[in-house]
């Protein structure tokens, strides 16, 4: 969903994401003289504020006409020097209880004349109103993790504590226990917080969707779950599954690859083995299958049943683990539909047993596409489940690779790895930034060769989430290391601003060989609103991490002149982005 507004030469477009808003701006060229940036005021439910901006003008460079007690780290006095901005309510106003509903954004261009920031001119303001809430459309819901443990927002709230478990041995622990700040924390503004508070911020909407489904199932004795799990150690999730097992209301397929069965360097058992032992101790061993397909049982799925009839399913890239929810960038998808739930239940039943896993690739369900179209409340989409026979996997991967190659408008992606996997899809994703006829923006977890924005070029951006700079230049504070994988998504958006928008997402690593070896599910969703939400997620991650991919030593300040020129250069990626987002 999007809204567009134009007034007095100022154009604004607002896109609805998952409890976020992507704002895109443009300014008539006759209004560019002395232009220094945009002030963004947010209004909702009788409250109003200007969005935060850490960057300010260098002391003495600009007279900003602010009173002594004014907060200059807002866009009222330190305008935003970009042509788009992502607004997240919980980090801007109230972390513990964000307001969801109608928000109005007021965008005003600001000017510097004779080294003085001119007063805000309301006659140039363009406003736009849009719903800001968790993503829901018909029978479909979506949730993303926040994944910003390496961010100024995180350290301002939680300090230098990057630990998300009290120790390496307790699978289930008290979420109301104190988590931080750490003993070395220097920022006195950081107040004590619990694991629950820390997890709510980090897990964001994905955590909410998973917790909601588990809570709903626990409270209703008519409900039960069938579960595919790969990593399994999130304390609330594990506790809920143990409780359901004791009541014979859950069945679980849990991966048993070596990373889930080997002891760690200190001799501690894998948390998945601890969970298995707890199931056995409860006398419910028959409810758990430890196994894998040729390589991994890699799906992350909750199938909810009412009186043993499938009614709802949750899937996506998010492992049911502390890393999956609180460190990784991930997504979950929820379908409140009996037909889709039954499809996943069929996959589960065809996999519930070691011998069944070995034979899965020979079944019709592994060699057919499950299409959903023209069904009320559901997106137009196709679901594929693996492992597949080699010929089917090759055809599947080439189909998606061709879609990337033939994109007419844009390609945006967030994938864990695009270098070691087999097949043409990852190859085409990796090469997408070389196509300057379309807008390309992507992120991987680790990479030895990244492609940053280059002024005067329309080549796209491909950045990495790991190996980033943590010692940032002033005015930014030092950030903590990311204790694990940063980018765990597996999604590719194609033509979100084109005629046929599509997103490929789910648990699949999008590699051809993996599609013949892993138990996975891959979704092709052809719904413009859902595709847009994924596009916003890609933009969110790329914008956040590309700054940290650069080697920056000197203090950073707002520009005083001509910062915007690349946004109006037809041969520049920033111009391409500005025009694309305003379409």
Same domain, 426 and 454: yes
Alpha carbons 320 and 199: distance in angstroms, whole number? 13
Domain-embedded: residue 370: no
Query: Of 232, 143, 149, nearest to 198 (Cα)?
Result: 149
Do 444 and 576 fall within a single domain?
yes
Q: Is residue 345 part of a domain?
A: yes
- Is the same domain home to 208 and 317? yes
Q: Is residue 573 domain-shared with residue 463, that is, in the same domain?
A: yes
- Total number of domains constituting the chain: 3
**Residue pair 502/528 in contact by the 8 Å Cβ criterion:** no
- Mean pLDDT lowest for which of 38-42, 66-70, 298-302, 379-383? 66-70
Dist CA 421 CA 401 (whole Å) = 13
Range with the lowest mean pLDDT among 16-25, 145-154, 435-444?
Answer: 145-154
Sequence-separated (6 or more) residues with CB below 8 Å from residue 273:
260, 261
Judge whether residue 95 has pLDDT over 60.
no
What mean pLDDT is predicted for residues 431-445? Answer: 93
User: Could you tell me if 356 and 438 lie in one domain?
Assistant: no
Q: Which residue has the higher pLDDT, 160 or 289?
A: 289
| For the chain, the helix, strand and coil percentages under 3-state DSSP, each to the nearest 5 | 30, 25, 45
CATH code of the domain in which 542 resides: 3.30.870.10
Q: Are 506 and 522 in contact (CB under 8 A)?
A: yes
Residue 382 lies in a domain: no
- Answer yes or no: is 170 within a domain: yes
pLDDT tens-digit series, residues 519-534: 999 999 999 999 999 9
Q: Are residues 121 and 224 in the same domain?
A: no
Mean pLDDT of 150-163: 89
If asked whether residues 188 and 323 sit together in one domain, one would say yes
Q: Are 119 and 146 within one domain?
A: no
Pairing of strands 461-464, 490-494: unpaired
Whether the per-residue pLDDT at 161 is higher than 50: the answer is yes
- In this prediction, residue 207 carries a pLDDT of 97
Per-residue pLDDT tens digits for 306-316: 999 999 999 99
Which distant-in-sequence residues (6+ apart) come within 8 Å of 467 by Cβ?
Answer: 446
Residue 26's domain spans which residues?
2-133
Say if residue 108's pLDDT is above 90.
Answer: yes
Helices (H) and strands (E) in the chain, counts: 13, 27
More confident residue, 293 or 467: 293
State the Cα–Cα distance between residues 107 and 250, nearest whole angstrom: 51
Does residue 215 lie in a domain region?
yes
Report yes or no on 94 lying in a domain: yes
Q: Is the pLDDT of residue 4 over 90?
A: yes
**Selection from 168, 194, 197 nearest residue 180 by Cα:** 194
**Average pLDDT of the segment spanning 404-411:** 97
Mean pLDDT of 330-353: 98
pTM over 0.85: yes
Residue 539's nearest CA partner among 442, 468, 432 is 442
Percent above pLDDT 90 for the chain: 82
Mean pLDDT of 217-233: 98
* Co-location of 358 and 425 in the same domain: no
Residue where a domain stops, chosen among 133, 164, 195: 133
In a domain, 480, yes or no: yes
How far, in Å, are 254, 311, 335, 530, 561 from residue 302 at the CA level?
12, 11, 11, 21, 53
- Residue 128 sits in the same domain as residue 188: no
Confidence of residue 469 (pLDDT cuts 50, 70, 90): low
Q: Is the peptide bond before 527 cis (omega within 30 degrees of 0)?
A: no
pLDDT over 80 at 91, yes or no: no
One domain for residues 397 and 475? yes
Of 488, 542, 377, 536, the closest CA to residue 19 belongs to 536
Which residue among 69, 98, 133 closes a domain?
133
Q: Is the pLDDT of residue 471 over 80?
A: no
The residue behind tokens 């209301």 is 249
Give residue 579's pLDDT band: very low, low, confident or very high (50, 70, 90). Answer: very high
Whether 384 is in a domain gets the answer: no
What CATH code is carried by the domain that includes residue 53?
2.60.40.10
What pLDDT was estimated at residue 93? 46
Whether pLDDT at 470 is above 90: no
The last residue of one of the domains, among 96, 118, 133, is 133
Please check whether residue 16 is in contact with residue 130, taking contact to mean a CB–CB distance below 8 angstroms: yes
Angle at 438 between CA 434 and CA 440, to 5 degrees: 65
Specify whether 219 is located in the same domain as 347: yes
At residue 92, the pLDDT reads 47
The 10s digit of each residue's pLDDT in 22-75 is: 999 999 999 999 999 999 999 998 889 999 999 999 999 999 988 888 899 999
| CA 32/CA 34 separation, integer angstroms | 6
Q: 372 in helix, strand or coil?
A: strand
Residues 6+ apart with CB under 8 A from 432: 404, 407, 411, 413, 438, 440, 442, 460, 462
Compute the mean pLDDT over every residue in the chain, rounded to the nearest whole number: 94
């Amino acid at each position: 969903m999007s809204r567009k507004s134009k007034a007095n030469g100022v154009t604004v477009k607002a896109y609805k994401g998952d409890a976020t808003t992507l704002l895109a701006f443009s300014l008539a060229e006759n209004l560019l003289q002395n232009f220094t940036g945009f002030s963004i005021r947010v209004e909702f439910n009788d409250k109003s504020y200007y969005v935060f901006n850490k960057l300010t003008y260098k002391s003495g460079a600009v007279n900003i006409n602010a009173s002594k007690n004014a907060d200059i780290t807002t866009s009222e006095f330190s305008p935003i020097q970009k042509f788009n901005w992502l607004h997240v309510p919980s980090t801007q106003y109230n972390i513990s209880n964000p307001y969801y509903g109608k928000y109005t954004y007021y965008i005003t261009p600001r000017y510097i004349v004779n080294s003085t920031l001119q007063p805000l001119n309301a006659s140039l303001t363009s406003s736009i109103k849009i719903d800001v809430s968790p993503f829901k459309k018909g029978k479909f819901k979506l949730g993303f993790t926040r994944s910003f443990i390496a961010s100024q927002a995180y350290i301002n709230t939680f300090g230098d504590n990057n630990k998300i478990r009290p120790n390496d041995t307790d699978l289930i622990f008290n979420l109301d226990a104190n988590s931080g700040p750490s003993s070395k924390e220097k920022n006195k503004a950081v107040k004590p917080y619990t694991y629950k508070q820390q997890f709510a911020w980090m897990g964001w909407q994905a955590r909410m969707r998973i917790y909601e489904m588990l809570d709903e199932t626990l409270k209703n004795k008519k409900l039960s779950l069938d579960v595919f799990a790969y990593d399994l150690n999130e304390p609330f999730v594990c506790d809920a599954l143990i409780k359901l097992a004791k009541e014979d209301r859950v069945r679980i397929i849990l991966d048993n690859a070596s990373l889930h069965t080997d002891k760690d360097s200190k001799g501690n058992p894998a948390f998945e083995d601890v969970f298995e032992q707890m199931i056995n101790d409860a006398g419910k061993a028959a409810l758990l299958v430890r196994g894998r397909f040729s390589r991994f049982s890699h799906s992350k799925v909750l199938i909810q049943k009412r009186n043993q009839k499938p009614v709802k399913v949750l899937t996506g890239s998010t492992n049911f683990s502390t890393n999956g929810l609180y460190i990784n960038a991930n997504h979950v998808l929820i379908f409140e539909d009996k037909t889709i739930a039954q499809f996943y239940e069929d996959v589960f039943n065809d996999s519930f047993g070691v011998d069944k896993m070995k034979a899965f690739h020979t079944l019709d369900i592994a060699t057919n596409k499950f299409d959903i179209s023209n069904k009320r409340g559901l997106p137009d989409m196709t679901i594929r489940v693996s492992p597949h026979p080699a010929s089917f996997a090759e055809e599947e991967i080439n189909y998606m690779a061709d879609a990337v190659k033939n994109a007419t408008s844009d390609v945006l992606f967030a994938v864990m790895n695009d270098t070691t996997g087999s097949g043409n899809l990852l190859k085409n994703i990796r090469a997408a930034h070389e196509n300057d006829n379309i807008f390309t923006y992507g992120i991987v977890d680790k990479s030895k060769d990244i492609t940053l924005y280059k002024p005067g070029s329309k080549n796209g951006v491909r950045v990495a989430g790991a190996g980033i700079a943590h010692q940032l230049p002033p005015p930014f504070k030092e950030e903590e290391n990311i204790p694990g994988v940063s980018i765990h998504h597996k999604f590719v958006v194609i033509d979100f601003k084109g005629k046929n928008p599509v997103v490929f997402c789910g648990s699949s690593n999008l590699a051809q060989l993996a599609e013949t070896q892993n138990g996975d599910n891959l979704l092709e969703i052809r719904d413009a609103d859902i595709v847009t939400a994924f596009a916003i997620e890609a933009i969110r991650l790329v914008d956040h991490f590309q700054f940290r991919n650069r080697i920056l030593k000197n203090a950073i300040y707002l520009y005083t002149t001509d910062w915007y020129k690349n946004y109006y250069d037809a041969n520049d990626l920033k111009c391409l982005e500005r025009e694309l987002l305003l379409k």
